[in-house]
Chains A and B, each alone.
Chain A
Amino acid sequence: MMVDIQGLTKKYGSFTALDNLTLSLDEGVVFGFVGANGAGKSTTFSILSTLLSPSAGDALINGKSVVREPKEVRKQIGYMPDFFGVYDQLKADEYLDFYGASYGLPAAERRVLIPQLLELVNLTEKRFEYVDLLSRGMKQRLCLARSLIHDPKVLILDEPASGLDPRARVEMRDILKHLKSMGKTILISSHILPELAEMCDEIGVIDNGKLIAHGNVAQIQDQLQGDKRIIVKVMDDLEKARAFFEEDPFVSSIEMTHGKNEVAFNYRGKTMDQVNLLRKALLADISIFSLTEEEKDLEDVFMAITKGADEK
């Protein structure tokens, strides 16, 4: 296990920003951490990066505790904050050289490494440019190169794609794919789920400081499948249809629209339950002429599970 988060809790005064978060990730996994703004993603990543002490709990990075051995953890992680700045009057290669030295890399090693890293993030031709003059996307990639300089096993990237134009996003994604192929364990956060779905092996959804879902993309989608909305149109006797469906244990939030002869409800059962329900409906002589499922895409899943996050 490369990342092992155990009951992590962070309180700011009486406000609980992070509530008993437990999560473990194997080596080489790309983990997408999704949550609305203020859900606690940055707080989690700051704790993992040894910038913040948890109020309770601990996290092990490659077996090293962020609470007890922060210096050891720093060797294992490359961290990219959600907001960061660069030193002005420093050129790209000097920028990387400074951080290389900050990790105690010998000068000779840094000289070899810097061109390779710049190549990796497509900034070779910007090597002797001042970093504060680079575009946002370039700064972002340079910061990513910086976080790789000591060859960390785990990358912690806090919203690496935020504020980037679509083209820069694609570039960032390609680099991340490359890093994944190098066997790095990568944690990426975002407040947009589809952005992560494509490149992540696992997704965790955080809401109000609580991890409310964790699994691969299909599993996360499944969580929604249990809570889809079904719309049934009947020829006549809407009341009868309503009474029938209301009895089913998997049905909730039932609604009737008289004008359209429609009954709509949330359905939580599995596929087989749904088949049985329809069979019974036909036997009960309910004149169904149409049945539709409201399709929800990933974004809707996310909206559904994080509902209420913005209402605090």
Chain B
Amino acid sequence: MMERFSNPVLLKELKLRFRSFKSFSGLMFYLAVLCIFVTGFLLIYTQFSGTGFFRPRDSFTMFAVLSVIQMGLVMFITPGLTAGAISTEREKQTLNILLTTTQSSTQIIVGKLLSSVAFLVLMLLAGLPLYSLVFLFGGVSPSQLITIFLFYLVTLIAIGSIGIMFSTITKRTIVSMIATYGAMIFLGGITAFLFFVGVSMDQMFMYSGNPQPNAAPFSPIPYFWASINPGALMVTILYPEMATSLESAVGVSIPVWVSYLIFYVLLTAFCLLIAIRKLRANMKTNR
């Protein structure tokens, strides 16, 4: 009965991934970036405080910056892993053969996604020892760490799905890469810009046009931009008081993480659905 649940594409991809030097060097690069950051941070802070000691407050700052950097790395690496998933097979002319096997489109797409997710999770786990430093110095609760990791997972699955969708609907890997990185830059950067623009426009409007002095602010659109920004999410998880001030600034009381979760789960579902439907694009009957 094992056979019913096994996913050949997933198994093969994992095998190839762990065999390739690229994955190994990618992992090393990732760990190197984290290590350099942590060492640099420790050096700078112990010198600033003059005492050579590291306080829980500093430890928390390190945790915060580490989390944001890790989120950045996840966002940077995931498109590279997934945006070629289907288009490389098309370019290497292995896709047609795969599509004549009895595997369903869903199975193939999910296998491709999970193999990338598995690699990224491994990468995150490999970075965990660095977090132990943070625990050593105190200032962070394990539940905070778990929450952050869960949001990494949600984010990388969503970005991975975007990559796989573009990889399925575009002919060439390079186009798919550009589109996926574009989507990522939009989610990670442009949304922040839109948020600030939106908030200041709403404020200008309130001060100039609206005579009521203490009308509650209400800016759902800027709130939306903030709530889908992974960086903003990190900050609101790390500093709950930031979440409260954001919510009062825009006048929307749904916690940012709830909107984030809903948006990214829907985004994942949408992208996977498109990918599954478009995988056998030349066939009318799909799935």
Contacts and interface: CB of A to CB of B under 8 A. Distances in A.
Which secondary structure dominates where chain B touches chain A? loop
A51 B102 contact: no
Which secondary structure dominates where chain A touches chain B? loop
Given A51-B100, A102-B102, A87 B284 contact: no
Interface residues of B, number: 27
Given A89-B16, A98-B12, A51 B284 contact: no
B99 A101 contact: no
Interface stretch (B28-36, B53-61, B90-98, B214-222): B90-98
Given A79-B97, A84-B93, A85-B92, A53 B3 contact: no
B285 interface: yes
A89 B98 contact: no
B99 A51 contact: yes
A67 B15 contact: no
A231 interface: no
Contact-residue bracket for chain A: 20 to 34
A84 B94 contact: yes
Nearest to B284: A53
B66 to A, nearest CB: 34
B97 A81 contact: yes
Interface string A70-94: 1100110101010111110110001
A116 interface: no
Contacts, number: 82
Given A51-B282, A87-B94, A106 B100 contact: no
A102 B101 contact: yes
B103 interface: yes
Given A53-B284, A89-B16, A98-B12, A84 B100 contact: no
A68 interface: yes
Interface in B89-121: 92-94, 96-104
A102 B98 contact: yes
Nearest to A78: B100
Contact of A75 (B3, B15, B102): B102
Contacts of A143: 97
B6 interface: yes
Contact of A67 (B6, B11, B97, B284): B284
A121 to B, nearest CB: 16
B101 A51 contact: no
Contacts of B16: 87, 89-90
B233 to A, nearest CB: 37
A282 interface: no
B90 to A, nearest CB: 10
Contacts of A85: 92-94
Contacts of B8: 98, 101-102
B283 A74 contact: no
Given A67-B285, A104-B102, A94 B6 contact: no
Interface of B: 3, 6, 8-9, 11-12, 15-16, 19-20, 92-94, 96-104, 280, 282-285
Which 4 pairs show the lowest CB-CB distances between chains A and B? Answer: A101-B8, A102-B101, A85-B93, A85-B92
Given A49-B96, A89-B16, 13 more contacts: A46-B96, A51-B99, A51-B282, A52-B282, A70-B285, A71-B102, A79-B96, A83-B93, A84-B93, A84-B96, A86-B94, A87-B12, A107-B3
